[in-house]
Every structure is written in structure tokens, then in C-alpha cells.
Chains A and B, each alone.
Chain A
């Protein structure tokens, strides 16, 4: 016997989806949206990117609504130089690199972690960052470097791992932090003047940690509707409906942007306070470079001074030459919401999931990779 939170089929009902689609159509009309001037909503979560593509939601929605994929995949936005640095760590004698599997095939400027492993580097895929502590215990003569990739969903698990290593006195464990934080990125995206954007489909599992109130300043200061959304088809359609209600209210002068939660079984206003405390203890905010976009002030997490000994750069020499991105790729434009993957001349030809050129194709959760897998023939 399981409760409704485990029964995903309940969140996929066709009759409720039909009802939501009809409400969405009406709200688009009330907002004055047309195919030429559609309402544009952006998701900033790779899991949403994949869910929207996989469930074929774009094909169900009217052409007066445009769904854009923002920079929602932390693997994709990891700068090329950091991929090169990770490979340099793996190629350092006496080092074991532990990583989530998503990072393996991401091409650096000359190689990837996968090819480095084929060439003899010791790189191990882990399910949980805690697994890397087990590797460190079993290999006391080696430095074990965990690649710290992720948004706020993932970074608390790595903060907890650093604290466990400290408690245990594990001297051969360190991390390479490339963490990104979402609210500063949303604020930057909302402030871009030269392309239409009417609201954010806020990331469900990032919001589990940071809480819905983290979007208050974006909603208020940028008058940008923000709705926290789950990952099943009805969750997503219901989130779109809530966003369109706000968009219609704003356009008819009946209301302002606000933050709403349509994933209440998982997300609260304040978020996971225990996880936030760990983040504050182990990390500190920093400016971060997002591949394809550039540096966004205050959009990253680095190890705090107290835990800076756990930074791999304190243990290994990881100087690499700054690489150059390949020309022709429009991933930056895609992640800023100006273009769609299918607008790129490289898409599906020079750039495929097998041989990715740009950041949106490198991970299965990148918008180009999701388009390639699920919507290539529909486009």
C-alpha cells in the first residue's frame, strides 16, 4: 500500500490534462496572446526540460504559448575550463576522481573524463557523494577528488559529505566546486531587455531546498511571475495555468507578479532549513561563470574559508590554459530564451548527443539534447 505521493499515474490523468489545456487556452486569449506575439514562459531545470519534451507537452499547447529552456542543467553550464581542470585532476598521478555519471561524456577542449579513463586515469562514477568517502577510506595513499557539480538540490548533499569527511578526519578527500545557485540567475534572466519573457517555471527540487520565498525578489522587483512546479504532466500544466493567470492579470492591469507553489506536496515557502544551514556552514556565495552565458554575480557556491582545505586546488596543481569555445554554437542565445535549439545551424548535424559541440547538447538534460531525443521530428 502506497500513498498518493508515490502514484505518478494519478498525476497523469488525461481528463484533468484536457481540462487544464482548455483553461490554458482561455487564459492565453485573456492575455491577448497570439501566434505572432506568444506568451513566453521559461523553465530553468533540466528535469523540467526533459519532462516537457518527453511528455510531448509542447505539441499539446497552443502556438500562442512558447516554452523556453533556460540554463537549467548544471552539467551543461559548467565552463569548459572546469571540465579541463577535472581531466587534469584525473590525470594527476595518485589521484582518483569521483563524479556523478552525467559529467563523464562532457567534452573538454581536448578530451573528456570518459576518454581520460580509457587512457588509464582512475575515474569512478558514484551515485551519492558519500560513496566517494568510501573510496577515500579504501585508498589511503590516493587523493580522492569529488567533482562538485549541481544546483541547490545537490550542493547540500556535498556539504554533508564534506562535514562527514571532517568528522572522520579523512585527509585524502577534496572537492572541485562548480556549484551554481538559481535565484541570481533568474534575476539576471528577468532583467534582459531585448526578448520577451513572461514568467518562470521555477525548479521544483531546487525549491525543495531554498523554499518558494527565494523567488520573492524576482517576482516583486522584476514584476516576473514565478510558479514552483513539479515534474508530472499535470504538475507542469497546472504550473503553466497558474503562470498564465498572473500574466493575464498583469496585462489587463488586474494584478502584479507573485510567487506561487503548485508542487505543494514537496515545496514549502521556507524550504529545507537543515539543508540551508549546511550550505551556509560549508559554502559561501561567489560569482560564477555559466558556460554559454558568462559570469553571473552571486550565482555560485565556493567552499567557505573554514572548509577551504577541502578544495582540490589546495592539494593538486590544476593550472590549465583557458580554452576557446567552438564558433557557430548558439547555446548562449538558447539559454537566454532568444532562440530554440532547432534555430541552430549545428543542431542535429555538426552537433549531436554523440558528438556535442555546445553546452545544451552535452548532457541528457540539456535543452538541445532533450529536443534531439524527443522533439527532433516534431520540430
Chain B
């Protein structure tokens, strides 16, 4: 019920905007976001734009996710190398899809991206 879809304001006429949703364009009422301008990204719910989306915050969130993934890869690589140094045996990989560990040897450090 509270589903809202992001789109980009393409044109504005009085309080109605034409909003592009990745190739499909539809009208949205701008009463709730009176400051929206052409080119802004808005969240649309029940025919109304209910918020202007913050692109800088979206980029920042994605940067943090990227850092997390890289840190996890580094950590996994280091753990694997330490394990090899210590035992010379295979170490455990983590399977994102099942949440289970496996004993299969993987050729690269980013095992979870390969499933």
C-alpha cells in the first residue's frame, strides 16, 4: 500500500508534472513537493510526488556499501592467506545464497560473488 516509485521530473505545468520512470512517463501531482524542479528525482505514490530524492545521499550510501564489500573481501583474503600459511590447507568460504559455509577451494578471494 505504501509502495512509492522513484522517477525524474521532465516537465512541470501548474501543479502537475510529467515524470519519467525509466522510460515510462506518467503525470504526478506536485502539491506535496511544491519546490520540485525539472530534473529532480521524486518518489511517487498514488499519483502524487511525496518527496524529492537526495542524489548525494544515495551516492554516499552506495559508497558505504562498496567500502563494506571491499573491506569484507580484504578480510577474507587475509584470513585465507593466514590459514594457508598456518596449515597449508583449504579455508572455508561463505555462500551468500544459503548462509552456509563450504569447504570448496575457490580460485579467488571474492567467493560470494561467484555463486
Contacts and interface: CB of A to CB of B under 8 A. Distances in A.
A163 to B, nearest CB: 8
Given A2-B8, A15-B69, A15-B112, A266 B32 contact: no
Contact of B45 (A15, A46, A154): A154
A14 B113 contact: yes
B33 A19 contact: no
B interface secondary structure, majority: mixed
B22 A128 contact: no
Contacts of B47: 127-131, 157
Contacts of B115: 14
A339 to B, nearest CB: 23
The contact size tier of chain B is 35 or more
B29 A19 contact: no
Interface in B71-97: 71-73, 94, 96-97
A265 B54 contact: yes
Interface in A88-128: 100, 102, 127-128
Candidate in B29, B41, B65 with the most chain A CB atoms within 10 angstroms: B65
A22 B31 CA distance: 43
Contacts of A13: 65-66, 69
Contacts, number: 165
B66 A16 contact: yes
A14 B1 contact: no
Interface residues of A, number: 61
A365 to B, nearest CB: 6
Contact of A100 (B8, B22, B46, B55): B46
B67 to A, nearest CB: 9
Contacts of A205: 2-4, 43, 45, 50
B96 A275 contact: no
A206 interface: yes
Interface of B: 1-4, 6-8, 22, 29, 31-34, 41, 43, 45-48, 50-51, 53-55, 57-62, 65-66, 68-69, 71-73, 94, 96-99, 110, 112-113, 115
Given A46-B1, A265-B55, 11 more contacts: A5-B58, A15-B69, A15-B72, A20-B68, A153-B1, A160-B32, A205-B2, A208-B4, A208-B50, A266-B51, A275-B32
